[in-house]
Amino acid sequence: MSETMYKRILIPTDGSDVAENAVDHAMVLAKQFDAEVHALFVADTDAVHYALGTEQVDRIRQGRFPEMTELREDAEAATGYVRERAEAAGLEFVERHAGGQPHNVIADYARENDIDLVVMGSHGRAGVRRALLGSVTERTLRSTHVPVLVVDYRAEKE
């Protein structure tokens, strides 16, 4: 196995426990390969389209959430968790907030940034699972030719 197998690892995150568990796995690989870590938060514009006006949806697609405090806070917290872990490990870090259909944004980002590996949770905040995988994860697998490591999360029983 080449020491430079993974130069850039993308971690799409929504800040959920499932996503944070995927971050833990990604950091082990990133540290092993001294890879640059990319954290990507995607606001699903399909999910918010009807509640917001066209101008606000366009801003979200551009990754600008200035007047949408809750959305901006969610994005910053989600990618901030990845940043903290990457900095603690001494790894280079890139952060991006975007809007659109998550699977398409993830696939486009991976292609445009020469990502070698995508590491993501099996399902996100919605908690709804489609068969075995969440719909964003499932669609991402079909939308990109970059290898995707899907990390499952099993909550401990109380």
| Extended beta strands in the chain, E state | 8-12, 36-44, 93-100, 117-121, 148-151
In a domain, 1, yes or no: no
In a domain, 3, yes or no: no
**Exposed, middle or buried by CB within 10 Å (0-12, 13-18, 19+), for 144?**
buried
Would you state the pLDDT for residue 55? 64
CATH of the domain at 73: 3.40.50.620
* 131 backbone φψ class: left, alpha, beta (φ>0; ψ -120 to 50): left
In a domain, 156, yes or no: no
* pTM for the model: 0.82
Would you state the pLDDT for residue 154? 60
In a domain, 143, yes or no: yes
Would you state the pLDDT for residue 131? 40
Cα(58)–Cα(71) distance, integer angstroms: 14
| Extended beta strands in 13-133, E state | 36-44, 93-100, 117-121
Would you state the pLDDT for residue 128? 43
Would you state the pLDDT for residue 136? 84
| Neighbouring C-beta atoms of residue 128, cutoff 10 Å | 9
| Neighbouring C-beta atoms of residue 30, cutoff 10 Å | 27
Domain housing 60: 8-151
Encode pLDDT of 7-21 as tens digits: 999 999 999 888 899
In a domain, 108, yes or no: yes
DSSP 60-74: HHTT--TT-HHHHHH
Which residues, including other chains, have CB under 8 Å from residue 130's CB and lie 6 or more apart? 138
In a domain, 145, yes or no: yes
CA distances from 97 to 62, 81, 141, 150 (A): 8, 14, 21, 21
In a domain, 157, yes or no: no
Q: How many distinct structural domains can be found in the chain?
A: 1
In a domain, 2, yes or no: no
Q: Which residues of the chain have pLDDT under 50?
A: 1, 126-133, 155-158
Contact in structure between 153 and 121 (CB atoms under 8 Å): yes
Contact in structure between 20 and 83 (CB atoms under 8 Å): no
